[in-house]
Amino acid sequence: MNGDKKSLIYQLDGRPSLGTAIPLGLQHVLAMFVGNVTPLIIISNALKLPVEQKTFLIQCAMLIAGVNSLIQCYPIGPIGARLPIVMGTSFGFLAVCLSIGGKYGLPGIFGAAIVGGLFQIVLGLIVKHIRKFFPPLVTGTVLLSIGLGLIPTGMKYFAGGAGAKDFGSFQNLALGFIVLITILFFKHFTKGITSMSAILIGLIVGYIVAIPMGKISFAAVANASWVSFPMPLKYGIEFHADAIFAIMLMYIVSSVETVGNVSGITLTTKRQATDREFSGAIIQDGFGSILAALFNVLPNTSYGQNVGIISMTGVVNRFCIATGTAFLILAGLFPKFGAVIALMPQSVLGGAAVVMFAMMVVGGINQITSEPLQGRNGTIIAVALGLGFGISAVPDVLAHFPQGLKMVLGGSGVVVSGGLAILLNVILPKDKVEVPEKSGESVA
C-alpha cells in the first residue's frame, strides 16, 4: 500500500504492523475492561455467589466480549458492521437484570436475554424503518432513568455492600474515596491513555490499598486453575413472560445507542453510516447477547467510551481493534486472572460505580437537552420520569398488582420511564410554532 505506513491506522482496512496495532488495541481494552466485568460482579454480589463462581462469570465475560467485538470487525454474513466496534457487558441492562435475578436467579436472566436477543435481531433487520421513533429525547430519558436507578446501588457498594457487617465503616468509606479521588486526578490532571483509563487506575490503586487493610485474601487465586474453557449453560436457562417483557425495552434502547455509536465511528471518516452498517451492528448486538447468555453472561452491546477514543484519535482501523479482542479472548481462558479481579472489595468497586452511574445521568441530560425542554418535550420527560422513577422509589403503590406485573413495572423504573417516553413521543402532537402575522403597516 502506498504512503506512510503510519497512515494505515486511519484506514478501515489498513494492515499496520503488530508493533503499532497492539498498543492501540490494548488502549481500547483498558477503556472498556472495567465496564465489561463490573455488572457481573454486582449481579454476583446481589445473588451472594461464592468467589469461585464470580471468577467463572468474569472469565466468561472477557471471552465473550472478545468474540463479539471480533465479529463486529469481521462480520459473518449479515452479522456484524465491519467497523471497529468494541462490545462488552451492558450496564444499561443491570437494573432490570437485578430485578429479574432477585426473582428467578441467573437462569431467568439468561432465558430473557436469549428471547430479547432474537427480538433485537429483528430490530436490526428493520432499523431503517423505526429510527424516527427514538429521538434523543426518548433515549436520553431512558438513560437518565437508568442512571438515577443505579446510583443507590453504587452508594451501597461505596459503604461496603448491602448486608456487610462493617457497612458504612470509616475503613470502607476511606477506600471508596481513595478510588474516587484517584479517578478524578487521572481523568482531569493527566492526558492520553492515563486519562482515558482513569477508572481502571482508580480500581487498581484501591485494590492495592485494600491488601494491607486485610480486605483481600488470595486463597481463591491459588485454588483457581491456570487454563480453562468456560462451560456454556452452567446455570441453565428459564423463560418467564414477565422477565422477557421487562428486558425487551432495554434491547430497544440498546439498539438506539448502537445506532449512535455507529454514527460516531463513521463520522470520524467524514461520512454517514450506511443502512447495512446500522443493521449489521444491531444484529450482532442481538446475536452477541444470545451468545453471551449461552455462556453465562449478561446482554452485550457496543461501548460508547471506545467510540470516544476513535473520535479523539481518528484511528478507525479494524485490525488494531482486533488485536485488542485477541487479548480479551486470551484473558478469558485463564481463570487465575479472573480470580484476582473477583476479590475486589465492594467499597473499592463502589468508588468507581458511583461515578460511572452518575455519568449515565449526565449522558441522559446531554441528550434530552439537545432540544428545548418546553411544551411537549417537557411534558414527556416529566411524566416519564415522574411515574417511572416514582414507582421504583415507592414500589408499595403496586401492592395490589399481580406479582409478575409488579416486577415488570416496579423492578427498576426503567421500563415505565422508557415505555412512557416512547408512547408519549408517538401520540402527543408537535408544538405549533406561532408565526407572527404580517402587518400592513411599515415600520419606521
Per-residue pLDDT tens for 31-45?
677 678 888 888 998
Q: What is the pTM of this model?
A: 0.72
| Lowest-pLDDT choice from 207-216, 317-326, 409-418 | 409-418
Please determine, for residue 442, whether its predicted confidence score (pLDDT) is greater than 50. Answer: no
Q: Look-up: residue for cell 503510519?
A: 6
Handedness of CA 65, 70, 72, 75 (dihedral sign): negative
Q: At what angle do helices 241-268 and 414-427 cross, to 10 degrees?
A: 70
CB atoms under 10 Å from CB of 372, counted, come to: 10
Q: Cβ(407)–Cβ(99) under 8 Å? A: yes
Query: 261 versus 173: which is more confidently predicted?
Result: 173
* φ/ψ of residue 135, rounded to 5: -75, 170
What's the rounded Cα separation, in Å, for the pair 235 and 243?
Answer: 17
Please report the pLDDT score of residue 342 as a whole number.
67
Confidence of residue 113 (pLDDT cuts 50, 70, 90): very high
Strands 300-302 and 87-89: antiparallel
Per-residue pLDDT tens for 184-200?
898 889 886 677 667 77
Domain locations along the chain: 17-427
Average pLDDT over residues 240-268: 81
Per-residue pLDDT tens for 73-111?
999 999 999 999 989 998 778 878 988 998 899 999 999
Nearest to 341 by CA among 6, 104, 51, 1: 51
* φ/ψ of residue 427, rounded to 5: -95, -25
Per-residue pLDDT tens for 374-404?
889 999 999 998 888 788 778 788 888 876 6
CA distances to 41, 131, 289, 363 from 136, rounded to whole Å, are: 30, 11, 24, 11
Per-residue pLDDT tens for 289-323?
999 999 999 999 988 666 766 765 677 889 988 88
Per-residue pLDDT tens for 212-238?
888 887 777 777 778 888 889 999 999
Q: Side chain identity at 308, as an amino acid letter? A: G
Query: 406 versus 212: which is more confidently predicted?
Result: 212
Please determine, for residue 117, whether its predicted confidence score (pLDDT) is greater than 90. Answer: yes
Per-residue pLDDT tens for 6-59?
577 777 788 888 877 887 777 677 667 767 888 888 899 889 899 888 888 988
Q: Side chain identity at 201, as an amino acid letter? A: I
Quote the longest CA-to-CA distance of the chain.
90
Residues 6+ apart with CB under 8 A from 197: 30, 31, 186
DSSP state of 301: E
What are the DSSP calls for 120-189, one per residue? HHHHHHHHHHHGGG--HHHHHHHHHHHHHHHHHHHHHHHTT-TT-TTTT-HHHHHHHHHHHHHHHHHHHH
